[in-house]
Amino acid sequence: MGLDIRIDLPRTEQSDTYDVAIVGAGPSGLTAGIYCARGRRSTVVLERNMAGGQIALTELVENYPGFPDGISGFDLADRMKRQAAQFGAELREITTVASLQPHEDGCFSITTDQESIRSRAVILSPGVEAKRSGIPGEAEFIGRGVSWCATCDGALYKGRTVAVVGGGDAAVEEGLFLTKFADKVYVVHRRDELRAAKIAQERAFANPKMEFVWDSVPRRVVGDQMVEGLEVQNLKTKEVRTLPVNGVFFYIGQIPNTAFLQGVVERDEAGYILTDELMRTSLCGVFACGDARSNPLKQIAMAVGEGALAAVQAQRYLDQLECPLPAAGGQRPAWGGPTVPAASGERPGSGGAGDTPTP
């Protein structure tokens, strides 16, 4: 069930208008919430599931500074959530955002499956979700042997055999986690070299329960009531064989949760939100951070740094209302800085005079 944490803060202007609405309560959104609430801005954080995002589904986080023995992803998420609430951020979970709309008065409305929320600034941190392979059987066997979450479902495979698909950090780390339960874990990877961090690779290669199926892709999940096998094809030899597994965990990458932003802010071809180096999107008053932002590194440390920067910039924006005047025709302008509107078509952060932040 969703949890509403409310601590009353003075709201500026209209009592029904938040200073900042944050979409997504993963590490970046919760960090932005901590910073905005500590800045005494009325802040609401909207989350479609439970707070924590991807890390809440991660068994052990070993590379976030300050936890030399590692910390469970769930615990880390819970700490961030409590920290944001403690400073006054309102957190609304199980709330799916359907649209974001700018208004001529400078405010935004965010429509969720439950309500409409007004805010003066917006921070987008909607995160990512697991990419589907689309192979036959994947959708049919969801909940009956197909999963994207070893932390959630791993214990169901005690003494059994599973396959993980992918060669990145998620596949290798979650595959290692699955060896706590399963007798055997196949790692099906389309190349003969892993993408995962070297330390995870070393552990995986040293684990006798892990068997690597190189140069291979999944073709079909097979079974009757439950998963009974994974058909894989070797891309070099073209040989097809069926691995006898009771479970298949897909870790073949992620897609950003940004469909609701189509036509609202600029995104790259894969759907990741484009910003300048100050986390400003193409829409004045809207900032973005975390895994759904077009950036070169998807890590918790990166996400919290981006969340902090987005929050600081959002507060500067609220202090100074840095948008240029609306262009003729009433269209909300792109970022241009406090006095010098960006040249038409110029990307934020491209170095124009209008990109200089005002302290």
Query: Which residues in this chain contact ligand NAP in the complex, by CB under 6 A?
Result: 63, 133, 165-171, 173, 190-191, 195, 217, 251-254, 298-299
| Measured distance CA(309)–CA(312) in Å, rounded | 5
Minimum separation from the CB atom of position 111 to ligand NAP (A): 29
Contact 27, 56 (CB under 8 A): no
Question: Which residue among 19, 36, 107, 153 is the active-site one?
Answer: 153
Look at residue 19 and give its three-state secondary structure.
Answer: strand
Question: Which residue among 113, 152, 183, 319 is the active-site one?
Answer: 152
Cβ closer to ligand NAP: 33 or 166?
166
Contact 167, 190 (CB under 8 A): yes
Minimum separation from the CB atom of position 279 to ligand NAP (A): 19
Q: How many C-alpha atoms does 172 have within 13 Å on its Cβ side?
A: 20
Cβ closer to ligand NAP: 11 or 195?
195
Q: Is 152 a catalytic residue?
A: yes
Q: Is 153 a catalytic residue?
A: yes
Minimum separation from the CB atom of position 25 to ligand NAP (A): 18
Cβ closer to ligand NAP: 95 or 216?
216
Cβ closer to ligand NAP: 90 or 173?
173
Sign of the C-alpha dihedral, residues 233, 235, 239, 244?
negative
Cβ closer to ligand NAP: 211 or 346?
211
Structure tokens at 295: 């950036």
**Which residue minimizes CB distance to ligand NAP?**
168
Question: Which residue among 75, 78, 149, 215 is the active-site one?
Answer: 149
Q: Which residues neighbour 68 within 8 Å (Cβ) at sequence distance 6 or greater?
A: none
Phi, psi for 258 (deg, rounded to 5): -125, 15
Interstrand relation of 90-92 and 43-46 (parallel, antiparallel or unpaired) = parallel
Minimum separation from the CB atom of position 61 to ligand NAP (A): 7
Among candidate residues 213, 264, 277, 259, the one with its CA nearest the CA of residue 102: 264
Contact 335, 282 (CB under 8 A): yes
Structure tokens at 161: 């055999």
Cβ closer to ligand NAP: 27 or 33?
27
Structure tokens at 3: 């949890």
Q: Is 36 a catalytic residue?
A: no
Contact 223, 253 (CB under 8 A): no
Helical segments of the chain, H only: 27-38, 73-86, 150-153, 169-178, 198-206, 300-320
Minimum separation from the CB atom of position 196 to ligand NAP (A): 7
Minimum separation from the CB atom of position 250 to ligand NAP (A): 8
Active site residues: 149, 152-153
